[in-house]
C-alpha cells in the first residue's frame, strides 16, 4: 500500500461516503481513505454535507498510511490555500483598559460582601422555609 500512496502526495479521489466524523474517498478501484471532519476545510465544519457530496471529485493530501490496519488518513484542507487572516481591531497602545477598584460602588458586589449578607439572611426566621 505504501508503494502506491506516499505520505505528502496530493491525489484526486471520489467521495464514496459521508459520516458525521468524516468522508470516505476512493483513491482507486480497491483503496479508499478517510478525510476526518477537521480536515475537510479551513474553519469549523458542523455538517460535512454542507461541503461535500457523494460522487464529488476532490483533491486530497495523504497524511498517514497504516499498512497493518489498511487505513489511509487524508486531508482536503491541506490542498487548499489558507484563508487570509481577518484583522481584528487592535487596541491603541496608549489606551489602557479601565480597571474597577474594589472600593467602587458601581456594578456587582464582591463575594466577600455578599457572603456576609447571605449569612445574615440565613439566620432570619421569616425567610426560613418550613
- pLDDT (0 to 100) of residue 57: 95
**Residues of the chain scoring pLDDT < 50:** 2
Distance CA 11, CA 122 (A): 70
Which fold would CATH assign to domain 10-79? OB fold (Dihydrolipoamide Acetyltransferase, E2P) (2.40.50)
- pLDDT (0 to 100) of residue 111: 83
Q: Is the dihedral of CA 16, 12, 52, 1 positive or negative?
A: positive
- pLDDT (0 to 100) of residue 2: 47
- pLDDT (0 to 100) of residue 10: 93
CA distances to 7, 28, 35 from 63, in Å = 6, 17, 9
- pLDDT (0 to 100) of residue 86: 63
Is the entire prediction scored with pTM above 0.85?
Answer: no
Q: Using DSSP, state whether 75 is helix, strand or coil.
A: strand
Amino acid at each position: 500500500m505504501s508503494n502506491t500512496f506516499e505520505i505528502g502526495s496530493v491525489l484526486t479521489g471520489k467521495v464514496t461516503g459521508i459520516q458525521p466524523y468524516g468522508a470516505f474517498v476512493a483513491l482507486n478501484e480497491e483503496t479508499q481513505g478517510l478525510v476526518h471532519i477537521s480536515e475537510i476545510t479551513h474553519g469549523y465544519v458542523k455538517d460535512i454535507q454542507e461541503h461535500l457530496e457523494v460522487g464529488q471529485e476532490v483533491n486530497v493530501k495523504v497524511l498517514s498510511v497504516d499498512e497493518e490496519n489498511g487505513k489511509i488518513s487524508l486531508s482536503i484542507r491541506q490542498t487548499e490555500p489558507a484563508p487570509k487572516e481577518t484583522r481584528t481591531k487592535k487596541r491603541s497602545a496608549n489606551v489602557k483598559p479601565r480597571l474597577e477598584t474594589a472600593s467602587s460602588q458601581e456594578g456587582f458586589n464582591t463575594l466577600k460582601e455578599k457572603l456576609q449578607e447571605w449569612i445574615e439572611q440565613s439566620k432570619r426566621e421569616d425567610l426560613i422555609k418550613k
